[in-house]
Amino acid sequence: MLKTINLHKKYNDFTALQSLNLEVEKGEIYALLGQNGAGKSTTINILLGLIKATSGDAFINTISVTDHPQKIKKELAYIPETVLLYPNLTGMENLDFFSKIAGFNYTRAELSAFLRHTGLQEAAHHKTLGGYSKGMRQKVGIAIALAKDAKVLLLDEPTSGLDPIATAEFTEIIRQLGQEGRTILMATHDIFNAVSVASNIGIMKQGQLVQNLQSKAFTAEELQELYLKTI
């Protein structure tokens, strides 16, 4: 569902990505770990078409990011660390607005069902975003991804700044989305969450994928040890 082939990215003389070969199957949750500057966001930005690879290519559902950047946008949803929404609109209004931008015109019942699917409490659907916690905003972000029927979700630091309850809720939603057949790539520093939610884990170092692991083979402590030895 998601594949990068020999992806290279250079910023002048600096190599940010080097021969990155990544593969994520349909319904898989893949966590990308790595130090600050390892190249995780660069990878996500190339997949999103926000920056161009120097060479190599990336494919979403076999569609080339280089050749079909507009088609790719329909397949993907991006959920940044801080989900940017309109603070003066309610959760429901934000979802309606962004769904319409993506070309979908849903009824109130349908919009409400997307929000419920993410675990956002009914009472919050009609409250303005100004009063939402980070976890609640993230749920609206996920609802927007579901409303546009994105096959692949790209998440950047999704658990950063979430309290343990919000992290557990997030983990549950992501697991469920994977079971429903959505493909998830998340860049994270949260080793514990990566082991708990991801089926596969990649460790990046200086723009290269230096480990590609199955998470069920590791406890969080073992992964942390391996991570510290690797980076």
Site of tokens 């070309």: 103
Q: Which is nearer to ligand ATP, 41 or 215 (CB)?
A: 41
Residue 20 pairs in a beta bridge with 7
Q: Cα dist. 61→10, 66, 77, 182 in Å?
A: 26, 13, 14, 11
Q: Which is nearer to ligand ATP, 117 or 189 (CB)?
A: 189
The nearest distance, CB 122 to ligand ATP, in angstroms, is 35
What would the x/- binding string for ligand ATP be over residues 15 to 54, using CB under 6 A?
A: -x-----------------x-xxxxxxx------------
What would the x/- binding string for ligand ATP be over residues 133 to 172, using CB under 6 A?
A: ----------------------------------------
The nearest distance, CB 48 to ligand ATP, in angstroms, is 12
Cβ atoms of 49 and 32 within 8 Å: the answer is no
Q: Which stretch, 11-19, 82-90, 115-123, 211-219, contacts ligand ATP (CB under 6 A)?
A: 11-19
The answer for residues whose C-beta is within 8 angstroms of residue 72's C-beta and 6 or more apart is 47, 49, 60, 63, 65
What would the x/- binding string for ligand ATP be over residues 179 to 218, using CB under 6 A?
A: --------x-------------------------------
Q: Which is nearer to ligand ATP, 99 or 138 (CB)?
A: 138
Q: Which is nearer to ligand ATP, 32 or 150 (CB)?
A: 32
The answer for residues whose C-beta is within 8 angstroms of residue 59's C-beta and 6 or more apart is 2, 3, 4, 5, 65
Q: Which is nearer to ligand ATP, 52 or 108 (CB)?
A: 52
- Its sign, for the CA torsion 170, 172, 178, 180, is negative
- Give the integer Cα–Cα distance in Å for 88 and 48: 27
Tokens standing for residue 196: 């708990």
The answer for residues whose C-beta is within 8 angstroms of residue 20's C-beta and 6 or more apart is 4, 6, 7, 8, 39, 43, 56, 204, 207, 208, 209
The nearest distance, CB 110 to ligand ATP, in angstroms, is 35
Report how many residues bind ligand ATP under the rule CB under 6 A: 12
- Give the integer Cα–Cα distance in Å for 105 and 64: 28
Q: Which is nearer to ligand ATP, 188 or 200 (CB)?
A: 188
The nearest distance, CB 36 to ligand ATP, in angstroms, is 3
Q: Applying CB under 6 A, which residues contact ligand ATP?
A: 11, 14, 16, 34, 36-42, 187
